[in-house]
Chain A
Amino acid sequence: MSCASPLSWETLVDWWVRDLDEAAASSVEEHVFGCEVCSGVASRVAATAEALRTMIPPVVRPARLEGLARAGVRIFENPIAPGQTSDFHFPASADLAVHVLGGLALGTGAKVEVTLRSLASGTVLAHVEDAPFDARRGAVYLACQRDYAQLDPDLVAEVRVGKDPPAAQYTILHHF
């Protein structure tokens, strides 16, 4: 299995995200379709891109949750107030858990930052600037998946609204 003129990773990424003109895209497509080597590399590009496109981000938009619920995903909500520690057991009947970090004064144009840290080590697990939120409920939605059992189970979520006020803290002790 070999290819006389293999396509580069860069070309295949540009092709996948539709960043090539029509003639170039068509040429890449024909090469990929007929070449086992380049088809293999293109599959790796595609798998990485699709993993990103379909991932449920840690801080999830209300509209995305509604879409998931419509698609039949069983979502369990775990409301938490600022300063509270939640001892959370992932329900067997849920596909996805959502920690509802509530008690926030959120105007429509609010600038919200969310930082997730390991309670034990203080390591930052994720930091989201300009995080999405639900202004009506005054809440930020933190998606929690079964796969996260591999991460530190106990974490602190810090939610900062605007620049000045101190961040609201929510501590979550997970049991998967």
Chain B
Amino acid sequence: MRAEASDAALLAAIARGGAGLREAERALCRRYAPRIRLYGLRHLRDEDRARDLVQTVLLAVLQAAREERVREPEQLVRFVLGTCRNAVLRLRELDRRAEPAADEVLVAAAGTETPRDPVNAAVLLRCLGALGDRARRVLELSFHEELESDEVASRLALTRGNVRVIRHRALAALRACLDAPVREGA
């Protein structure tokens, strides 16, 4: 199975079973695991819970694919997103970790490693130090204290619009700094 196979082709291969089953399942997991993790991080704000969500959702999607329950293969994106939404709602209702099903084959296929985006603490500190005081403060209040824009604006005597612009630019500058190769002697 080529990496660029369409969703519909992957679903068909999974439904057929046989020799191509595992490879198709892996390809589907590789494609969707990062997006599910992103969804989980945004809604759950916890890396471990986001990873649990990846497994839970992929297990459900693979099970549905095997049983040919994805009615519109070209709409797999919507199916996966809908499964994410339901799983997060369930997680919130239960307020506990979801427990993946005990199908070892599915667990193995769904266990796709997604990157953890590790950031070196010293580099982060250096990059934050390169920002202006106001930009750094907006980031601190937005991300450490998780205040909403109105609250950040009130604390810093800014308008909400100012806060958003400062945050956009500061986050972009921080990303660029984190991505920059370390200068010799820096």
Contacts and interface: CB of A to CB of B under 8 A. Distances in A.
Interface of A: 9-10, 13-19, 29-30, 32-34, 39, 42-58, 124-127, 129, 145, 147-151
Contacts of A48: 171, 174-175, 178
Contacts of B129: 124-126
Interface in B128-157: 128-129, 133, 139-140, 142-144, 146, 148-149
Nearest to B31: A36
B97 interface: no
Given A29-B81, A33-B81, A52-B144, A13 B120 contact: no
Contacts of A58: 125
A19 to B, nearest CB: 5
A145 B142 contact: no
A10 B164 CA distance: 8
Given A48-B174, A48-B175, A53-B45, A34 B77 contact: yes
Contacts of A29: 39, 81
B42 interface: yes
A51 B178 contact: yes
A32 B122 contact: no
A12 to B, nearest CB: 9
Q: Which of A57, A124, A127 has the most CB of B within 10 A?
A: A57
B98 interface: no
B38 to A, nearest CB: 6
Interface of B: 34-35, 38-39, 41-42, 45, 47, 77-78, 80-81, 84, 117, 119-126, 128-129, 133, 139-140, 142-144, 146, 148-149, 164, 167-168, 171-172, 174-175, 178
19 contacts: A13-B171, A15-B42, A29-B39, A39-B38, A43-B34, A44-B175, A47-B117, A48-B171, A48-B175, A50-B117, A51-B119, A52-B144, A53-B45, A53-B144, A54-B47, A57-B144, A127-B133, A148-B125, A151-B126
Contacts of B123: 147, 150
Given A10-B168, A44-B175, A126-B129, A147 B122 contact: yes
B47 A33 contact: no
A46 B133 CA distance: 22
Nearest to B41: A46
A15 B38 CA distance: 12
Given A39-B34, A52-B143, A126 B125 contact: yes
Contacts of B78: 30, 34
